Amino acid sequence: MASGTAPSDRPRPVGRGPKVRAAVLLATLAELYEAGYAEFSIDNVAQRAGVNKTTVYRRWKDRPTLVVDAVTDQIAIEMPIPDTGAIEGDLRELALSLIKTLTSPIGRALASIMLAAAHVPEIAEVKHRFFDDRIRHAEPIVLRAIQRGDLPADTEPAELIKALIAPIYLRLLITSEALDQTVADQATRIALAAAHAGALTRRTRPRDRN
Amino acid sequence: MASGTAPSDRPRPVGRGPKVRAAVLLATLAELYEAGYAEFSIDNVAQRAGVNKTTVYRRWKDRPTLVVDAVTDQIAIEMPIPDTGAIEGDLRELALSLIKTLTSPIGRALASIMLAAAHVPEIAEVKHRFFDDRIRHAEPIVLRAIQRGDLPADTEPAELIKALIAPIYLRLLITSEALDQTVADQATRIALAAAHAGALTRRTRPRDRN
């Protein structure tokens, strides 16, 4: 190997635009898996991606911005929005893919960010935006079901998605129970029963946060 | 003030038995409020309680044991199990008192323990026991409703309590939304709709954790 100061030991250029972005986000995930959020270093990310640190900082102003971008990208890939033709199947698929994600390395990285969020205001803010975005992303499932006449017309999509994911996060973060298919089945039945009982309408929606 | 080595500066004895226990648990809460879990010190607790450190260690083998004992005691005081005569009123009262607790200083101390649990196995274990115990404590609400014929006979009490608290913890830990009375109302409606739809029976209960 060349010495540390030799030009050949510098990060190799990975090109511009989308290629750089992809390389840095991939390196971010690798760094998260191995180091966790607490030990996460942009220096290491730059080295893994083969780019200069300044290249990273030009696109992502800080650690939380970079991490959330990488995790959001990956979750979007791992959690496509199902379209089975029936609301029950769609919700079950969505619950199952959330469970698969939360129990995978990327899920553990996400959990590590959520834990950090309690102390760092800027992470709390990106965390809020992240979940807002994820919930909105799943809303078409509910809108399609309303159009088919399978759900009450005044069902609030975001409230139904939250009713579906709440039992899953309770088991992950509070009661430490196994996350498996029966959890997905139960979450689906709870969300559907609540929607049909009219508990998830605009009228019953809790007010926005303060 | 006497110098640090003068006998008058030693912790004053607070007596034996229940009095010592009460003094130490109160000091533990005070230390949690002011220092948080990360900075929590048994030395400081002993000093606040006016007892020797060895007195604390004789009763509580370590930091997590002491903290969980103090928080559990306080939560039991702050969250009496309601008995309004109707399941809807009982669930709403329970949801409201959980919200009140989670948004109080003791709730923030509890959150601080939950966050620490991700990294410390012994805290994860006491956390699991703590929530198990709290959920079991609330089960009479459901059993009374079944006896009155207000809920399906095969409703699983713990599953109904979890359906009630899941939307509250989702808003606290994931979506960072305001916790207020409309959240309690919606959580009550979700849990009741799920119970009446038969989604919270032994048959539909997810398996115990691995």
* Nearest-angstrom CA–CA distance, B166 and A167: 5
* Nearest-angstrom CA–CA distance, B164 and B156: 13
Q: List the beta bridge partners of residue A201.
A: A155
Taking a contact as any Cβ pair under 8 Å apart, which residues of chain A between 99 and 118 contact chain B?
111-112, 114-115, 118
Contacts of B69 (CB under 8 A, 6+ apart): B25, B28, B60
* Nearest-angstrom CA–CA distance, A68 and A87: 30
**Structural Rg of chain B based on CA atoms:** 20
As a whole number of Å, the end-to-end CA separation of chain B is: 57
**CB contact at 8 A, A210 and A188:** no
Q: Does A35 lie at the interface with B, CB-CB under 8 angstroms?
A: no
Mean pLDDT of B149-175: 94
The parts of chain A modelled with pLDDT lower than 50 are 1-9, 209-210
pLDDT for B208:
57
**Which tokens hold the place of B66?**
């002491």
pLDDT for A38:
74
Place of tokens 């698929």: A93
Chain A nearest-CA residue for B135: A175
CA distance, residue A58 to nearest chain B CA (Å): 29
Taking a contact as any Cβ pair under 8 Å apart, which residues of chain A between 134 and 163 contact chain B?
135, 159, 162-163
Over residues A184-195, the pLDDT tens digits come to 999 999 999 999
CA distance, residue B99 to nearest chain A CA (Å): 13
**Residue A29, CA distances (Å) to A10, A21, A26, B158 in order:** 22, 12, 5, 37
Over residues A65-88, the pLDDT tens digits come to 898 888 878 777 777 899 999 999
CB contact under 8 A, B166 and A167: yes
Which DSSP symbol is given to B9?
G
CB contact under 8 A, A178 and B112: no
**Which tokens hold the place of B17?**
């038995």
Over residues B76-126, the pLDDT tens digits come to 777 789 999 999 999 999 999 999 988 887 777 676 666 665 566 666 777
SS3 A139: helix
Size of interface A-B (CB pairs under 8 A): 138
CB contact under 8 A, A209 and B124: no
Q: Does A131 lie at the interface with B, CB-CB under 8 angstroms?
A: yes
* Nearest-angstrom CA–CA distance, A184 and B32: 37
Which DSSP symbol is given to B8?
G
Chain A nearest-CA residue for B131: A175
**Nearest CA to A20 among A10, A32, A12?**
A12
pLDDT for B16:
65
**Which tokens hold the place of B106?**
């003791």
Task: Report the b/e string of B39-52 with b at 16+ CB within 10 A.
Answer: ebebebbbebbbbe
Which DSSP symbol is given to A8?
G
Contacts of A205 (CB under 8 A, 6+ apart): A156, A159, B182, B186
Question: Where residue B20 falls among pLDDT bands split at 50, 70, 90?
Answer: very high
| Model confidence, pTM | 0.79
Over residues B34-89, the pLDDT tens digits come to 887 778 899 999 999 999 999 999 999 888 889 888 887 877 777 789 999 999 99
pLDDT for A122:
64
**CB contact at 8 A, B180 and B87:** no
Chain A nearest-CA residue for B177: A209
**Which tokens hold the place of B199?**
């989604």
In a mutational test of the B interface, the residue from A173, A202, A203, A210 whose CB has the highest number of chain B CBs within 10 Å is: A173
**Nearest CA to A72 among A109, A31, A23, A17?**
A109
* Nearest-angstrom CA–CA distance, B204 and A186: 6
**Residue B13, CA distances (Å) to A60, B1, B19 in order:** 57, 19, 10
Question: Where residue B202 falls among pLDDT bands split at 50, 70, 90?
Answer: confident
Q: Which of B166, B177, B205 sits opposite A206 (nearest CB)?
A: B177
CA distance, residue A42 to nearest chain B CA (Å): 23
Residue B149 CA neighbour count, 13 Å, CB half? 0
CB contact under 8 A, B167 and A166: yes
pLDDT for A190:
98
Mean pLDDT of B188-208: 89
